[in-house]
Amino acid sequence: MTSEQTRRDFMRKGLAILVSAAIPAFAQSEEPTSQPGKKVVVLDPGHGMGNRKKGVYDPGAVHEKIYEEKIVLDQSKRVGKILAQKGYDIISTRTDSETETPLSSRPILANQQNADIFVSLHCNAFTNPDAKGVRTYHYPDTKQGIKLARQVQDSLVEELTANIPGFEQKYNGLKTANFHVLKHTNMPAVLVESGFLTNERDRKYLTQNPEIVAEGIDKGIIKYLEEE
């Protein structure tokens, strides 16, 4: 069997969805395809079932009973819905917590669909509970990746600053990394750490104000795409 056939069979197992502007909610697609003339955004809510090892659930960062995987899945749905309403084609690497979604499959999906951008969604954690704030990663020395990361980082921080009492970010959250999903995607790609689950302030807005986080990420994505 050819590698192309393998990928096609892989996609038929429901590891991705397509959302168009005409569809208000996420729905399974047997084999997602982008619509001609529309820009394609792949959203990648991190972790989930089979992310690192087949059959093993990966919750990501965990604080008490709060799972990163659940938070970023919700973020992905919110971000995708807004972008779809704006007329973009949205493809998600996963839509639930049960479907096997290997890490290796995520950039393959984006490359296969010739996506315009790839945005991986995550939350942070650290042993020091004072660690806080937003960080957005891009692959080293990628001009468009840096631009996308800056737009998303700045827009998310701006949205949180305007809507979350006491929020401020004093450090530069723009970072480089050799993450698999950044290294193996053919298009501009970023990984967004929208806050620290181990920090009380961040945990509060991540769990209680998800719409503000989604709006900030959306604004950055749209600003980047409108300038291209």
Q: What is the per-residue pLDDT for 176?
A: 98
Query: Tell me: the pLDDT tens digits for 117-149?
Result: 999 999 999 999 999 999 999 999 999 999 999
- Average pLDDT value for the chain: 88
Query: DSSP character for 37?
Result: T
**Contact present, 35 and 89 (Cβ < 8 Å):** yes
If we measure between CA atoms, which residue out of 37, 34, 8 comes closest to residue 19?
Answer: 34
Q: Is 81 helix (H, G, I), strand (E, B) or coil?
A: helix
Q: What is the per-residue pLDDT for 1?
A: 43
Q: What is the per-residue pLDDT for 33?
A: 55
Q: What is the per-residue pLDDT for 150?
A: 98
Q: Is the model more confident about 36 or about 139?
A: 139
Average pLDDT over residues 26-48: 71
Q: Is 148 helix (H, G, I), strand (E, B) or coil?
A: helix
If we measure between CA atoms, which residue out of 166, 83, 156 comes closest to residue 123?
Answer: 156
Q: Is residue 26 pLDDT above 60, yes or no?
A: no
Query: DSSP character for 35?
Result: P
Which residue carries 């929020």 as its tokens?
167
For residue 34, report the phi and psi dihedrals to the nearest 5 degrees.
-80, 155
Q: Which domains does the chain have, with CATH numbers?
A: 3-227 (3.40.630.40)
Relative to beta strand 66-67, strand 62-63 is antiparallel
| pLDDT interval class at 35 (50, 70, 90) | low
| pLDDT interval class at 32 (50, 70, 90) | low
User: How open is the CA angle 89-141-217, to the nearest 5 degrees?
Assistant: 35
Q: What is the per-residue pLDDT for 111?
A: 98
Query: DSSP character for 38?
Result: S
Q: What is the per-residue pLDDT for 36?
A: 63
Q: Is residue 100 pLDDT above 80, yes or no?
A: yes
Q: Is residue 87 pLDDT above 50, yes or no?
A: yes
Q: Is residue 14 pLDDT above 50, yes or no?
A: no
- For residue 71 the two structure tokens come to 């938070």
Q: What is the per-residue pLDDT for 228?
A: 84
Query: Tell me: the pLDDT tens digits for 158-205?
Result: 999 999 999 999 999 999 999 999 999 999 999 999 999 999 999 999
User: Concatenated DSSP letters for 176-216?
Assistant: E---HHHHS-SS-EEEEEEEETTSHHHHHHHHH-HHHHHHH
- The residue count of the chain comes to 228
Query: Tell me: the pLDDT tens digits for 152-171?
Result: 999 999 999 999 999 999 99
Coarse DSSP helix, strand, coil percentages of the chain, rounded to the nearest 5 percent: 40, 20, 40
Instruction: Pick from 14-23, 26-35, 85-94 the range whose average pLDDT is largest.
Output: 85-94
